Amino acid sequence: MTARIVLQQADITRALTRIAHEILESNRGAADLVLLGIPTRGVHLARRIATSLARIDPGISAEAIVGSLDVTMYRDDLSRSRTRTPGPTSVPGSIDGKTVVLVDDVLFSGRTVRAALDALNDIGRPRAVRLAVLVDRGHRELPIRADFVGKNLPSATHERINVHVAEFDGDEFVSIDSAGEAQEQFS
């Protein structure tokens, strides 16, 4: 298996800062904005985007607009996937009437995002739902498109995109692993 690094820490930081600017522009400010990261790495990315939003607009409290949305029990591939333990969902207040930005590390088949939309239905009724991803690799199985993308990385279905974030992995980069045979993907 050969790994090729495609984004370094500085690239990731730039991409998340750009996404923060795009979110503010598209939402016309931070009014009624909630960021929900999809565990595991999406939560860390959502926190970073919220911190960038607060740097751009000092009136924003990063802690007040960011949370996590565990989608484990909403997935349609639970029987086929490795064992998953549900994590906590932490939503900063009501999402009713707000713009919710779901944040994930990699967009692949679209099944994780579909599960997140189902999970949101159990929490409330947002005015709008947007999707921000660090990497969009293509190969969608569902009609789902990200509104904010850090990097489009077209890849073969047998390749694996690895996102490492300092808060969880201790280092920070995005790599593509080429394997001789197809690997199961869960994004």
pLDDT of residue 186: 46
Q: How does DSSP assign 81-148, residue by residue?
A: SPP------B-SS--TTSEEEEEEEEESSSHHHHHHHHHHHHH---SEEEEEEEEE----SSS---SE
pLDDT of 185 over the 60 cut: no
Residue 87: pLDDT band (50, 70, 90) is confident
- CATH number, domain with residue 146: 3.40.50.2020
pLDDT of residue 107: 97
Asked which of 1-5, 21-25, 115-119 is least confident by mean pLDDT, the reply is: 1-5
pLDDT of 66 over the 90 cut: yes
Give me 137's structure tokens: 């690799």
Pick the closest to residue 36 from 90, 102, 97, 93 (CA basis).
102
Domain presence at residue 1: no
Residue type, position 74, single letter: Y
Domain presence at residue 49: yes
What is the extent of the structural domain holding 117?
A: 8-76+88-155
Domain presence at residue 166: no
pTM for the structure as a whole: 0.91
Total structural domains within the chain: 1
Domain presence at residue 112: yes
